[in-house]
Amino acid sequence: MPLADRFSTHMFGTSGIRGTFGESITSTLTIDVGRAVAAEGAQRVVVGRDARVTGDILLQSLAAGLRESGADVVSVGVASTPTVARAVSWYDADAGIVVTASHNPPSGSGLKLWNPNGMAYTEAQRAEIRRRSHEEDFELARYDAVGRFESATDAADRHVDAILASAGSHEGLDVVVDVGNGTGQVTVDALQTAGASVTTLNAQRDGTFPGRPSEPTAETTVALQRLVAATDADFGVAHDGDADRMMAVDETGQFVDGDQLLAVFAAHVAQPGASVAAPLNTSLAVADRLAKDDVSIIRTPVGDGHVAERASEPGVAFGGEPSGAWIWPDETLCPDGPYAAMVLATLVDEHGPLSSLVANVDRYPIRRQSLEVTQKESVIDAVARRVQEDYDAVDTMDGVRVDTGDGWFLVRASGTEPLVRVTAEARDSDRSDELLSRAIDYVDAARSA
């Protein structure tokens, strides 16, 4: 495949590099990314991978690219993404790289890159890695200066210890953990060590994800919901393939909406006057709940990397994305599913049933629709011009978001498909429908122009 084609077919976004193994994600690509990371000055790099069947191939080629460029490699093997992100500082490294496609299907793969402070590579860092990889702007080391390779076998144990450092006893708590055939065993180990009784689902690592699709949603976690409802469990949690995400099920078996969970976590940690970072498609209900505590929301572009960047700023107590990425900046700037599970255990222990906790957060009607377009960028630009003529509160940081005072609508281009996604929300159904229709009208006008 020509070099230009190889780099035009994969997605290098806020979550790193993602694509399909054997097409956009190949050992050639991972070698070059390793070389590029070393060329950017990383002399010691922690690497790990999720449980996908192609992970060992890509991990070996990634390590080869790093080492032949002079960087030492510390491999933690199969591990969760937050384990690798935390391990960068544990092993005195300059960067961390995880071979993972996160919650994507088994055919997918990719790379996530981490800084020593636990935050994902910034947009500027990602752009430079992409440039160096594309242009082959790196140098290989002499035969006697290649990097060393070592294995670290205690990373998962250190992750458990880090989680338990701020956790109390959870004796008497009963939790069901749906590992999703991925790398979330750290959650099980941490909860059990804290004294909780843990029942597991899909706990065997299997990169084909035979138990359920990797992304934990209301539709994919039906088995977890039924098991929690049929037992005396206090709650259930579910991870994606690399365990940076965590979603929850309350004691009745009800899947907890991500916006509600975001509000519960944020209200627990944020003091009056503090801020919380959340993407611009987060529900109004989160802002309404936090306003009662004099806590404000800082809106970010969609993507946990953007959330983490804002969460790293002074005065920001928490960052969250309703898809299941939760960030406590005083703990780590990486979304940490196992840590989130332990925080949830503490909340339930101290404040009562999860159903009662989420009952304090309203749910408003959100409307969504995807529209086929041929020129996504030009459509978004045209929508932006038109809405700025009609509204004052227009945000173009990520698509076009319009705040109408009593609601909002958002028009964003899909990152992977020829689609424009339209979202609208208000505090009542009729207004949500009206805002969705209005947003679609703007897209239709832009498409026909």
Q: CB 390: neighbour CB atoms within 10 A?
A: 10
Q: Which of 61, 75, 80, 102 is catalytic?
A: 102
**Residue carrying structure tokens 């159903």:** 355
Q: Work out whether strand 296-300 and strand 419-426 pair parallel, antiparallel, or are unpaired.
A: unpaired
Q: CB 376: neighbour CB atoms within 10 A?
A: 17
Residue 113 to residue 285: CA distance in whole angstroms: 33
Check residue 338 and report its DSSP letter: H
Cα–Cα nearest to 240, from 103, 96, 386 = 103
Is-catalytic flag, 102?
yes
The rounded Cα 330 to chain-centroid distance in angstroms is: 18
Residue 339 to residue 236: CA distance in whole angstroms: 14
Residue 133 to residue 115: CA distance in whole angstroms: 19
Q: Using N-to-C axis directions, what is the helix angle for 376-390 and 429-448, rounded to 10°? A: 120
Q: Are residues 263 and 295 in contact, defined by beta-carbon separation less than 8 angstroms?
A: no
Strands (E), 245-287: 246-249, 275-279
Number of continuous H segments (helices) and E segments (strands) in the chain: 15, 20
Going from the C-alpha of 372 to that of each of 181, 339, 413, the distances in angstroms are: 34, 39, 10
For the sheet with 174-178, list strands across it.
Answer: 197-201, 174-178, 235-239, 246-249
For residue 411, the cross-strand partners are 400, 422
Residue 66 has, within 13 A of its CA and on its CB side, a CA count of 30
Residue 186 to residue 196: CA distance in whole angstroms: 14
Residue 246 to residue 261: CA distance in whole angstroms: 10
Catalytic residue annotation: 102
